[in-house]
Amino acid sequence: MALLTLSTDPRVDAYAKLLVERCLDVRPGMQVLIRTTPQAAPAVFALERELARKGATPILRIGFVTWPTNPAWAAEAPEELLGELAEIDRFACDHMDARITMDAPENTRDGSDLAPERFQLVKKAENYFYRRSMSSEIPWVSCAYPTEALAQAAGMSLAQFEDVLYGACLIDWDAEGERMRRYADAFDAAEQVRIVGAGTDLTLSLAGRRGEVDKGHTNMPGGEFFYSPLEDSAEGVIEYSEFPSSYQGHEFAGIRLEFHGGSVVEASATKNESTLYDLLDRDEGSRRIGELGIGCNPGLTRPMNHVLFDEKIDGSIHLALGQSYEKVGGKNVSSIHWDIVKDLRNGGRIELDGKTVQENGRWLI
Amino acid sequence: MSSFPCIDCAAVTDPRIEELATLLVERCVAVRPGWQVLVMGHPGARPLLEELCGQIGRRGAYALLRLRLESPPTRAWMLEADEDLVGRFTEIEAHDYDTMDTYIVVEAPENTRGGADVPAAKVAARNAATRPHMKEIFAGTKPWVGLDFPTQGLAQDAGMTLREFEAFYWGAMLLDWEALAERMRVIAARFDAADEVRIVGGGTDLRFSLAGRHGLVDALGANMPGGEVFYSPVEDSAAGVIEYSEYPACYQSHEVAGVRLRFEGGKIVEASADSDEEFLLGLLDADEGARRLGEFGIGCNPGIQNHMRNTLFDEKIEGTVHFAIGQGFGYLGGTNESVVHWDMVKDLRPGGRIELDGEPVQENGRWLF
């Protein structure tokens, strides 16, 4: 008997299948935690069906903002409760076998009216959730579902946004993986990376570090390869003049960072500069680079004011301030991981040990 | 120093929602500091759910929000998964139920028949998996409260516009609970002292025993609105016939008209219905206990006068009684066990009567004491 399934968009089913099969490789008996908002209902239902077919069980964590954050509660609860998750939530974090984070805001500013000290405590508590995925103990994927709010933030209609999202996700990931591996091999073999572009001349060392290719596993869309550079190696300047950057509900523009000995020694921004300073002063590791990523997704060509997409723009690179990835040898520890994207398509270039490998966003290798 | 642009613009909350949330948090479940409170419900109840989370936070407890997109909450999964999988409760699910200190569930369905396509066998399998983790809830040792929040779907079922339904809803929720509780205690005292109850009405003459059983007054307890006095009758005592001719019997997205049940020795020996009879008969065969009475309840809420195809309200209509087939209440001396607990409401206002040990105590829905 055929089940009549009412998906508004057939791409939703293909997307759910991709997430469950490729990204998570779900096995029978798994408890797969799905955190999202009611906006993503069609995708949640499609995921539930896919999980059922695999013999797995969904653990639904649907909130008005992404679980475990609950601003209505966090605005009122005593501060001593905010910094650590409730035992029930920690248990779920400890026992989930895989997780899907599907960003689907009704308003991208939801939660941003929490008092800053409360917001920071909530973020600290949330780190417990990320622990097992960041250390690669469980399969995970971060993705998004097309909502009016995300489309609006991207300056697009919902239909346009849907086309971009599915266009960047429903592609031949194995072929993309091979292409990116070729570039990553060149980076693996190099010691020094130099990024040159508008207002930018920055060198980093990758000596002894190996990159990882994101060919559609932990991020959907995927389409980058990334490193944790040597923590004390960054020297020079980078200016993010092309795209705005958003982090934890704040929007920034014109960020300029000067590095010495791996650490930010001077910083400025044309928008939200004081919040930039706050973030840099967040902790010991927040002035150092946790990640260098190179965007390669051919479906992503314009900024969407959403890091999951923007960091994969073909012809861009991004540096993350803060927490690095152990799995690629990173040692920096921080409560922030803020990816900021630099467009290299207009006069930028990447050099490896003095040899130019990318110019104007186009590969020469 | 931070210059974070924090604009403290608390949205205005409907004062009725605040009052209701306070009743739920402070009275119905009496949240204590450090508690883990599961707050479950449909997104349509957002104003109430958020107010609940805030008030729970103010009492120094954790509000763990679990929005439900469908009823049952994992309907899409249940439709596709095989029965064996549906019947297995995972570690995380079990831990949620085992370790929570209380839960509040707010139903705000857009379509009250959203679960109509889930096979009964799967619903039963899921319930059976959940049951072992609900022991303290059933035993009454862990507080909980369930309620509805006005939606178009609920209004439609009630035959009302949303505006009408809201007016009715707040009238049934925000009343003088202390005074009503006092009145219901008087009623309960009469039933507590009696052995045999006889219900007479349209097509109905049913006797059963409450000997040795005590009733519970429902005011600011596990249901909002409350407004009933209820018992678990002696399991083998029911004898006679009851006909639910006034209202359909509603359960699990089904609506069964004209249910007629004949009891002998506490057990249903004959059953029929004017519609969806197959569903009725299927449930009666769900298990050993499904053919016996788990509950006898007397509706007492003056704010509820009309049937709205919603058990939570209907069973509290002043001048009605209801019987649940299936699971009894252990804390009221009930011993019947079943995965079913189906409340069916009988209107006694048109010519009905309740007798206690042969003495009429209610006639046409009006108390004689």
Residue A253 and residue A116 share a domain: no
Contact of A121 with chain B, judged by CB distance below 8 Å, is answered with: no
Residue A188 and residue A152 share a domain: no
A121-125 long-range contacts (CB < 8 A, ≥24 apart) are A121/A74, A121/A79, A121/A82, A121/A83, A122/A69, A122/A71, A122/A74, A122/A82, A123/A248, A123/A335, A124/A83, A124/A84, A124/A335, A125/A68, A125/A82, A125/A83, A125/A84, A125/A85
Contact of B32 with chain A, judged by CB distance below 8 Å, is answered with: no
Lowest mean pLDDT among A83-87, B10-14, B280-284: B10-14
Mutate to test the interface with A, among B1, B4, B93, B111 (most CBs of A within 10 A): B4
* C-beta separation of B86 from A103 below 8 A: no
Which residues from A are below 8 Å from B78, CB to CB? 52
What is the rounded CA–CA span in Å between residue B115 and residue B222? 23
* C-beta separation of B225 from B316 below 8 A: yes
- pLDDT at position A146, please? 97
Query: Between A and B, how many CB-CB pairs are < 8 A?
Result: 145
For residue range B216-265, list pLDDT tens digits in order: 999 998 889 999 999 999 999 999 999 999 999 999 878 999 999 999 99
Query: What are the residues facing A102 on neighbouring strands?
Result: A143
Residue A271 and residue A150 share a domain: no
Residue A237 and residue A204 share a domain: yes
What is the rounded CA–CA span in Å between residue B181 and residue B192? 16
Residue A316 and residue A197 share a domain: yes
Q: Do A41 and B100 touch (CB under 8 A)?
A: no
Which residues from A are below 8 Å from B100, CB to CB? 88
Residue A350 and residue A271 share a domain: yes
Residue A156 and residue A43 share a domain: yes
**Residue A9's pLDDT band (cuts 50, 70, 90):** confident
Residue A155 and residue A237 share a domain: no
* B260 torsion bin: left (phi>0), alpha (psi -120 to 50), beta (else): beta
* C-beta separation of A226 from A212 below 8 A: yes
Which residues from B are below 8 Å from A26, CB to CB? none
What is the DSSP annotation of A100-121?
A: EEEE--SSTTTTTTS-HHHHHH
The CATH number of the domain where A67 resides is what? Answer: 3.40.1830.10
The structure tokens 């936070």 sit at B57
Would you say how long chain B is, in residues?
A: 369
Residue A348 and residue A261 share a domain: yes
Q: Among B6, B9, B74, select the one facing A116 at the smallest CB separation.
A: B6
Strand blocks (E) in chain B: 36-41, 62-67, 102-107, 144-148, 196-201, 204-209, 216-218, 223-224, 228-231, 239-244, 249-251, 254-256, 259-264, 267-272, 293-299, 320-326, 341-347, 353-356, 359-363, 366-367
Which residues from B are below 8 Å from A79, CB to CB? none
Residue A46: in which H helix or E strand, if any?
helix A41-53
**Domain end (from A148, A169, A190):** A169
Count of structural domains within chain A? 2
How many Å is the Cα radius of gyration of chain A? 20
Residue A148 and residue A179 share a domain: no
A residues 253..312 contacting B (CB < 8 A): 274-275, 278
For residue range B50-90, list pLDDT tens digits in order: 999 999 999 999 999 999 999 999 999 999 999 999 999 99
For residue range B170-206, list pLDDT tens digits in order: 999 999 999 999 999 999 999 999 999 999 999 999 9
**Domain end (from A169, A198, A213):** A169
Question: Which tokens is B336 given?
Answer: 């019947």
Residue A209 and residue A119 share a domain: no
Contact of A95 with chain B, judged by CB distance below 8 Å, is answered with: yes
The structure tokens 């004062």 sit at B15
**Domain end (from A169, A185, A201):** A169
- Residue B118 has a CB neighbour count (10 Å cut-off) of 21
Which structural domain, as residue segments, surrounds residue A145? 2-169
What is the rounded CA–CA span in Å between residue B291 and residue A315? 70
Report the pLDDT averaged over residues B20-36.
97
Q: Is the pLDDT of residue A364 over 60?
A: yes
What is the rounded CA–CA span in Å between residue B367 and residue B360? 9
Indicate the residue type of A213.
Answer: V
Residue A151 and residue A267 share a domain: no
Which residues from A are below 8 Å from B109, CB to CB? none
Angle ∠(B212,B214,B219) on CA atoms, nearest 5: 175
Q: What is the ipTM of this complex?
A: 0.88
Strand blocks (E) in A159-220: 192-197, 200-205, 212-214
Q: Is the pLDDT of residue B112 over 90?
A: no
What is the rounded CA–CA span in Å between residue A27 and residue B273? 45
